[in-house]
Amino acid sequence: MIRFFYWLVAIVEAVLLFGIILFLILTDSRSVKILADETLSSYDFRYDEISGNLFSGLEVVNLSYKDETLFNTAIIHWNPLSLIYKRVTFTKVDVEGVELQNILNMVEDLSSEKSENNTLIDLDFVLKGIHLDINPYLYEGVRFSSFLFESDRIRIASDLTLNSKKFNLSFDSDLVNTNLDGAIKNNNLSIGHVDLAQIDSRAIAVFVKRLNQKEKNKTVQVQKDIKTNTALSEAFLKSIEIEKIKATLLPVTYEPLVIKETNVVIDNLSIDAIRVMN
């Protein structure tokens, strides 16, 4: 009996010692760096610096994919135990300096790899407490700025099926200032309201004319852009349902007509995202 208790105490001490060693490994920033180097490099991701640990949170500086910067800094908290369920769960994601175009390029590339290999990463990703501050973005001569995206929860399945709780997106541009909230269920986007303020109808006319001219003078690059949009729509959005749109236009003059104030309200708009992208 005495020997039984002796071995019991020895086993308990061994378990405690193993637990302490494991805890020290997981909370050591050097261990995190080794793990990150092994994991990220195999998928063409790189970073300048990573600090913190798996429990107190990680700070990642200048993450890139195939030498294209994805963001400047990110503070991430995650739950490593969720890996048991083949799920990576981030309990907090605060990202500054997001490069939108590079993110889109990455999504296109990952989508094409998925179609070729049938599956890319056999893990689900869950992001909670999301705050994204996106860098100014220039598209066809139009500047988009003051980007802010926030959401309580987003889940991306291994097959790129996307679901989210309520999110908010706001940004300013040379065309219109936008604020909207919505949610995504099985790649179908449902938007509660969209506020479109300070719409510049003249700038929009110039922008549309520029796009039409580009369409007429198609090049290989343009065809690549179309392919990109198609891949993105197939990977993420199937349909868009908008409950209400409120729009206000800037004053505009079409001699001799002067329009000082215009307000537009649209209810229950449905869009086939894949068809539009194609």
Distance CA 269, CA 273 (A): 12
What mean pLDDT do residues 83-95 have? 85
Q: Where are the domains of the chain?
A: 43-277
Sequence-separated (6 or more) residues with CB below 8 Å from residue 29: 50, 51, 52, 53
- Entry pTM: 0.72
pLDDT greater than 90 at residue 185:
yes
Which residues lie below 8 Å from residue 219, measured CB to CB, with a gap of 6+? none
Structure-derived torsion over alpha carbons of residues 106, 112, 113, 117, reported in degrees to the nearest 10: 160
Average pLDDT over residues 101-125: 71
Structure confidence at residue 277 as a pLDDT band (50, 70, 90): low
Q: What is the mean pLDDT of residues 58-67?
A: 86
- Which pLDDT belongs to residue 219? 52
Where are any strands of DSSP class E within the chain? Answer: 45-46, 49-53, 57-65, 68-79, 87-98, 124-134, 137-139, 142-156, 162-173, 177-185, 188-199, 239-249, 252-254, 257-259, 262-272
At 16, the pLDDT band (50, 70, 90 cuts) reads: very low
Distance CA 158, CA 86 (A): 10
Q: How far apart are CA 243 and CA 180, in angstroms?
A: 11
**Residue 22 or 27, more confident:** 27
pLDDT reported for residue 6? 41
Lowest mean pLDDT across 54-58, 125-129, 185-189, 225-229? 225-229
pLDDT for 60:
85
172 forms beta bridges with 145
* Mean predicted lDDT score pLDDT of the chain: 77
Q: Pick the more confident residue, 55 or 172.
A: 172
pLDDT in tens, 206-258: 888 888 887 776 654 444 444 444 444 454 678 899 999 999 999 988 788 88
Check whether 116 has a pLDDT greater than 90.
no
